[in-house]
């Protein structure tokens, strides 16, 4: 009995000793983990926060760069359909009662009436000649417009490959970021498709967007490496085995498991920080140059194309209302005038999206500059910088999304009523 009691006590002492070792090990690991955590400067949570915000940028940026082509196409259709002046503005000449007589009947008329008849027929013949010329001119114009409109509508839409979203788990952290840009030689001008060059430029613009977003995305993959769970390192399986072997209690296993995960994360986070601190400064200049270029493309070239579209919308309504107004009461033109205002408002939203795009790029530039500064110094508060970035960046993206949420309307020429109707 005594022996059995001694053995039980020995086992208890042994178990206590094992447990103490486990806690000592866990404690040592935590200290090691904490020291790893302090030896680096880049705040990985802040980087992840920034990347989470830029993840949603790819489709938004694709919308604005794709609209360079979209604007070209819309402007073309506005312009071409704007020339569809109605045939009903021509009224075929009619003969008076005398002119409707046959020549044999007219020959029986008294001389004064015969002269009146001849005068009426001559006027009618001349009016018919003018009428036929007008109709022929309009038919030729419409045929030409129709063929161009068809060409514009059949223009191919550019397709985009948005970057792969940043992984939230370290297991997928090794996935390569989306394929980025390779600058191509532009195709020769000309050809049947009037917006082919614009389509090409849209794609190039988006490739440059993707080059920037992919870089930020890759930083996100790197930052995510230090945020694994017990299963990332197989500590969950190990814990189960320890529990099953009865070397430790479940709570002790849980404590060791947490400590091991934290230490491992700290070690990987430290490596991740080192890599970010190595790469971010190298990218700084290129990021700046690319942001400058993207802003200029949006502000000058895309804005210029929207100006052409605005001109075409205005001309469409001016031309059509001018031609149809004589046949329309003022109130009847009201829907067309309201539609005009609506179409210009939609265009204004796209112009505003340029400013939002620039704001988002500037926020990205500032955040990256702070990331670079923090990677070499402890002075920068990247957490606050990331919060400020998200607060500025996401609303900018929302503003862009809003401008492109509604598909652009195809211009529809007002259907004027015939004169005098």
Ranges within 212-251 binding another protein (CB under 8 A): 212, 214-215, 217-219, 221-222, 224-225, 228, 231-235, 237-238, 240-242, 244-247
DSSP 234: T
Taking CB under 8 A as the criterion, the residue among 62, 106, 211, 399 binding another protein is 211
Q: Return the biggest CA–CA distance within the chain.
A: 158
Complex with another protein: residue 41 or 65, whichever CB lies closer: 65
- 308-327 residues near another protein, rule: CB under 8 A: 308, 311-312, 315, 318-319, 322-323
- Distances in Å between the Cα of 230 and the Cα atoms of 37, 38, 233, 241, 249 are 18, 22, 6, 14, 17
Q: Are 165 and 216 in contact (CB under 8 A)?
A: no
φ/ψ of residue 326, rounded to 5: -55, -30
Residue 241 buriedness (CB in 10 A; 0-12 / 13-18 / 19+): exposed
Q: Of 139, 81, 89, 80, whose CA–CA distance to 417 is shortest? A: 89
Taking CB under 8 A as the criterion, the residue among 22, 47, 297, 382 binding another protein is 297
Q: Are 393 and 63 in contact (CB under 8 A)?
A: no
Q: Are 323 and 253 in contact (CB under 8 A)?
A: no
Q: Which stretch binds another protein (CB under 8 A): 56-64, 271-279, 336-344, 378-386?
A: 271-279
Is residue 194 part of the contact set for another protein (CB under 8 A)?
Answer: yes
- 130-159 residues near another protein, rule: CB under 8 A: 134, 137-138, 140-141, 144, 148
Q: With CB under 8 A, what is the number of residues at the site for another protein?
A: 94
- 49-88 residues near another protein, rule: CB under 8 A: 68, 72, 75, 79-80, 83, 85
Complex with another protein: residue 23 or 200, whichever CB lies closer: 200
Q: Are 64 and 175 in contact (CB under 8 A)?
A: no
Q: Which stretch binds another protein (CB under 8 A): 190-198, 326-334, 385-393, 403-411?
A: 190-198
- 165-184 residues near another protein, rule: CB under 8 A: 170-177, 180-183
Q: Which stretch binds another protein (CB under 8 A): 11-19, 25-33, 194-202, 324-332?
A: 194-202
């Amino acid at each position: 009995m005594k022996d059995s009691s001694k053995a039980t006590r020995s086992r208890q002492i042994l178990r206590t000793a094992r447990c103490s070792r486990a806690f000592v090990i866990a404690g040592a690991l935590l200290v090691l983990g904490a020291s790893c955590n302090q030896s680096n400067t880049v705040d990985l949570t802040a980087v992840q926060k920034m990347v989470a915000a830029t993840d949603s940028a790819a489709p938004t940026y694709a919308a604005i760069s794709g609209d360079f082509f979209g604007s070209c196409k819309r402007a073309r259709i506005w312009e071409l359909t704007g020339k569809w002046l109605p045939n009903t503005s021509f009224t075929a000449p009619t003969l008076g009662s005398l002119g409707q007589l046959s020549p044999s009947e007219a020959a029986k008329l008294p001389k004064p009436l015969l002269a009146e008849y001849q005068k009426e027929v001559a006027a009618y013949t001349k009016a018919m000649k003018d009428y036929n010329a007008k109709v022929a001119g309009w038919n030729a114009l419409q045929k030409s417009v129709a063929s161009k409109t068809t060409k514009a509508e059949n223009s191919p839409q550019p397709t985009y490959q948005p970057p792969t979203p940043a992984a939230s788990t370290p297991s997928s952290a090794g996935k390569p970021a989306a394929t980025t840009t390779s600058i191509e030689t532009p195709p020769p001008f000309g050809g049947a498709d009037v917006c082919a060059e614009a389509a090409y430029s849209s794609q190039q613009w988006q490739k440059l967007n993707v080059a920037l977003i992919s870089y930020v995305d890759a930083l996100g993959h790197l930052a995510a490496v230090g945020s694994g769970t017990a299963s990332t390192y197989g500590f969950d399986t190990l814990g189960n085995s320890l529990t099953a072997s009865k070397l430790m209690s479940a709570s002790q296993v849980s404590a060791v498991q947490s400590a091991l995960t934290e230490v491992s994360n700290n070690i990987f986070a430290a490596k991740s920080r080192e890599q970010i601190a190595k790469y971010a400064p190298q990218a700084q200049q290129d990021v700046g140059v690319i942001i400058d270029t993207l802003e200029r493309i949006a502000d000058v070239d895309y804005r210029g194309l929207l100006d052409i579209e605005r001109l075409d919308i205005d001309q469409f309504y001016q031309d059509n209302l001018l031609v149809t107004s004589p046949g329309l009461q003022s109130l009847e033109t009201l829907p067309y005038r309201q539609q005009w205002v609506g179409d210009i408002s939609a265009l204004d939203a796209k112009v505003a999206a340029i400013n939002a795009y620039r704001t988002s790029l500037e926020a990205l530039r500032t955040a990256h500059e702070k990331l670079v500064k923090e990677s070499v110094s402890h002075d920068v508060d990247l957490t606050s910088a990331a919060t400020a970035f998200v607060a500025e960046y996401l609303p900018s993206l929302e503003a862009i999304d809003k401008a492109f949420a509604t598909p652009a309307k195809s211009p529809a020429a007002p259907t004027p009523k015939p004169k005098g109707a």
